[in-house]
């Protein structure tokens, strides 16, 4: 059972909340916390307010590539459960290059629905800890 909680990332989040509350989180609270985890993104961001690299990535998504990173376009599993639940394969992730980063960095765009569609995309600048829905 503990592995299931760890795999879903819920136990770590529940323990963090519990430590902020001064102790361990009771099992019932941890289950409620997990159920509440299926929420939409935290706010929105206008496409014009995104970093230049994110706008370039959105343009590549709309064009169908080519993408600069091998993992761009792979299925995003939504294990963090911060986006609405959908069948596996609904969400795809794309790298937003980070200037001066030696690797892919922490910035991503995740889009739901058909490939090359950018009207259901989310921006994360903290490697999936939070998301903002991209609006025109």
Query: Are residues 58 and 121 in contact, defined by beta-carbon separation less than 8 angstroms?
Result: yes
Domain boundaries, the chain: 2-36, 44-135
Q: In what order do the strands lie in the sheet with 108-112?
A: 44-46, 132-135, 121-124, 108-112, 91-95
Which amino acids are annotated catalytic?
93, 127
CATH T-level fold of 44-135: Nuclear Transport Factor 2; Chain: A, (3.10.450)
Q: Which of 32, 29, 31, 34 is nearest to 19 (CA)?
A: 29
Residues 62-105: tens digit of each pLDDT: 999 999 999 999 999 999 899 999 999 999 999 999 998 889 99
User: What is the mean predicted confidence (pLDDT) over 122-135?
Assistant: 96
pLDDT at 39: 46
Residue 130 in tokens: 């939070």
Give 29-70 pLDDT, tens digit per residue. Answer: 333 333 344 445 689 999 999 999 999 999 999 999 999 999
- Full-model pTM: 0.70
């Amino acid at each position: 059972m503990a592995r299931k909680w760890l795999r879903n990332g819920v136990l770590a989040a529940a323990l963090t909340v519990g430590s902020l509350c001064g102790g361990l989180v009771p099992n019932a609270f941890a289950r409620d916390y997990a159920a509440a985890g299926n929420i939409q993104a935290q706010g929105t961001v206008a496409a014009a307010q995104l970093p230049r690299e994110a706008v370039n990535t959105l343009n590549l998504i709309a064009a169908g590539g080519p993408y600069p990173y091998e993992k761009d376009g792979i299925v995003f599993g939504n294990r963090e459960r911060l986006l609405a639940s959908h069948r596996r394969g609904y969400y795809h992730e794309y790298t937003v290059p980070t200037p001066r980063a030696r690797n892919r960095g922490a910035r991503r765009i995740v889009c739901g629905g058909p490939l090359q569609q950018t009207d259901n995309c989310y921006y994360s600048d903290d490697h999936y800890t939070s998301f903002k829905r991209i609006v025109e």
